[in-house]
């Protein structure tokens, strides 16, 4: 039986998606395989034998997404024990059964990517590739046939971890040169897939909740607008401020009680 590692990053407010995500994955994602969830988080305290919790502080936008290859590479020792590894965005839900069609065969590249649902009808000229030749994610005009979304990628563990290590170095190279690719980690992923063509999943494996597309719903991307929007989800929480407000409220309540007592 193949072992499947699910890589899931949920720092800050993204923790709100976890319970529904794992419920859907347990029901629909490779149900005949043994799965283990590698959860990178700063707040979830999971006591679940299916999960390996990896401490990861929130980095802020866009680094929470840009640095995911570095996060994954740091845990190579743990992740390499799996036969296959899949990164899945926090706001995704498995809608119907996803079986072994998602696993690359021995004759393929051993990697998996998903075609972006916003560009499946577009030509490569319309793809939002990184066009700055100074970036390690640069893709020249005329290159590429598919635009991949960064919300889901995977493959055999050795090839998956190799991809993450290579892209970690390229992201750092850009940062050292004062650059951030147009679509962050997604830009680097597309550059890698130009020369290492993956098994390509159709957009139904990244089906946008708020849009209708002509594919079977396999994995749905929840509309972040329903959960406060991008800015809310990406922003830092401020426990100190929250605690301060709470303390002020309690202090005011005590003062009011004293006032009411004196009036009585």
Task: Tell me, yes or no, if 186 is annotated catalytic.
Answer: yes
Instruction: Report the alpha-carbon distance of residue 43 to residue 162 in Å, rounded.
Output: 28
- List the end-to-end C-alpha distance of the chain, in Å, as a whole number: 75
Give, as one character, the DSSP assignment of residue 138: B
* 248 burial type by CB count under 10 A (0-12 exposed, 13-18 middle, 19+ buried): exposed
- Residue tagged active-site, from 158, 186, 216, 237: 186
Compute CA distances 186 → 25, 115, 190, 193, 219, whole Å: 23, 12, 6, 11, 18
Q: Which residues contact 15 (CB under 8 A, 6 or more apart)?
A: 41, 43, 44
Which residues are identified as catalytic? Answer: 186
């Amino acid at each position: 039986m193949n072992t499947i590692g699910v890589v899931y990053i949920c720092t800050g407010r993204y923790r709100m998606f976890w319970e529904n995500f794992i419920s859907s994955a347990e029901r629909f994602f490779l149900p005949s395989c043994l799965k283990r969830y590698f959860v990178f988080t700063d707040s979830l305290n999971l006591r679940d034998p299916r999960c390996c919790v990896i401490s990861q502080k929130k980095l802020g936008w866009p680094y929470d997404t840009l640095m995911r290859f570095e996060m994954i590479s740091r845990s190579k020792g743990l992740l390499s024990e799996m036969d296959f590894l899949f990164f899945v965005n926090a706001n995704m839900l498995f809608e119907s059964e996803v079986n072994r069609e998602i696993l690359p065969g021995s004759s393929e590249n051993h990697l998996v990517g998903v075609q972006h649902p916003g560009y499946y009808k577009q030509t490569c000229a319309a793809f939002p590739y990184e066009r700055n030749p100074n970036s390690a994610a640069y893709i020249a005009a005329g290159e590429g046939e598919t635009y991949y979304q960064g919300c889901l990628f995977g493959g055999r563990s050795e090839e998956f971890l190799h991809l993450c290590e290579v892209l970690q170095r390229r992201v750092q190279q850009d940062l050292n040169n004062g650059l951030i690719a147009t679509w962050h980690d997604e830009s680097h992923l597309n550059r890698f897939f130009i020369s290492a063509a993956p098994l390509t999943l159709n957009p139904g494996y990244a089906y946008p909740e708020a849009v209708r597309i002509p594919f079977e719903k396999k994995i749905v991307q929840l509309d972040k607008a329903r959960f406060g929007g991008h800015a809310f989800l990406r922003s830092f929480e401020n426990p100190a401020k929250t605690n301060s407000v709470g303390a002020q409220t309690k202090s005011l309540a005590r003062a009011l009680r004293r006032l009411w007592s004196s009036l009585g």
